[in-house]
Amino acid sequence: MLAAVALSFAGLCVVFALAWLYQWRSHNAGMVDPVWAAALGSVAIVAACLGTGHPINRAFVGVAGGLWGLRLAMHLWRRNFGHPEDARYRQFRQQWGKHTGRNMFWFFQLQGVIALLLAAAFFVPAFDEHAPAPLAVAVAALIWLAAVAGEASADRQLRRFTAVATHRDQVCQVGWWRYSRHPNYFFECVHWCAYPILAIGAPLAWITLVPPLLMAWLLLKVSGIPLLEAHLMQSRPAYKTYMQTTSALIPWPPRKSGETPLP
């Protein structure tokens, strides 16, 4: 397993170095998002191919992780390519000033480290020689399917809403977005819960709990919701009311304005 992990990390370092060169020439760091998804999905395929575990484990990791990464990468590419740089990365450029080139390089490399930590969800089952219980496979598959379908649905709803010119400064509250301010992030966290189920009984099964917890922490406290909502509060006048009535992550019926704000 260690050799496969080391090979994957080396590949991630190279991929994100190339992505950094692209943003250096284009002055658009937003392309790191689809690159990240595609790279992590590729690591799932590498783990499945190099793994020495049971064929069912390896097949699940390769198919589930690969398809997840492909769908997300295509969505993010469509959203970012040919469009202005995301407000989060523009803010980084303003903060870093003359050190932007250096800091952006290490920021991109950090994406490789994060991807490798999340890939623990792939490596543990891919190298587990024991056959998974049929019930565990079924539950893991249902979680994966619900998560990917839910995230794709939320992404599609937001894309259609923002495509309407009159919605430019409005807040999306259609579909999943009526019940969660970030349903796409919610389903992303759920996706990483499929692999711990598959890994039940594996010697290192506890490690697969790290990816869903890490993803939730990143989205809730670091680079996801805090940075995005700081921008939305400034660009959309109605977003403050939306925050007071709508759950941040877990889909939940909205409250009336004036009631206790949802977390």
Average pLDDT of the chain is 92
* Phi, psi (rounded to 5 degrees) for 82: 80, 5
The lowest-confidence range among 15-24, 25-34, 39-48 is 25-34
pLDDT in tens, 203-212: 899 999 999 9
Which residues 6+ apart lie within 8 Å of 151 measured at CB? 72, 183, 184, 187, 188, 191
pLDDT in tens, 178-218: 999 999 999 999 999 999 999 999 989 999 999 999 999 99
133 touches 56 (CB < 8 A): no
To the nearest 10 degrees (0 to 180), the angle between helices 210-217 and 100-118 is 140
224/30: higher pLDDT:
30
Q: What is the mean pLDDT of residues 138-150?
A: 98
In sequence order, which ranges of 85-209 are alpha helices (DSSP H)? 87-96, 100-118, 120-126, 134-162, 183-191, 194-198
Q: How confident is the model at residue 222 (pLDDT cuts 50, 70, 90)?
A: confident
d(CA 18, CA 35): 10
Report in angstroms the alpha-carbon separations of 63 from 111, 141, 201. 23, 11, 21
pLDDT of 153: 97
State percent of the chain over pLDDT 70.
Answer: 97
229/149: higher pLDDT:
149
In terms of C-beta density within 10 A (0-12 exposed, 13-18 middle, 19 or more buried), how is residue 2 classed? exposed
Q: How confident is the model at residue 257 (pLDDT cuts 50, 70, 90)?
A: low
Residue 88, pLDDT above cutoff 90: no
pLDDT in tens, 229-242: 888 888 888 888 89
The lowest-confidence range among 6-20, 31-45, 126-140, 243-257 is 243-257
Residue 76, pLDDT above cutoff 90: yes
Q: What is the mean pLDDT of residues 47-72?
A: 97
pLDDT of 77: 93
The lowest-confidence range among 122-136, 142-156, 170-184, 223-237 is 223-237
pLDDT of 166: 84
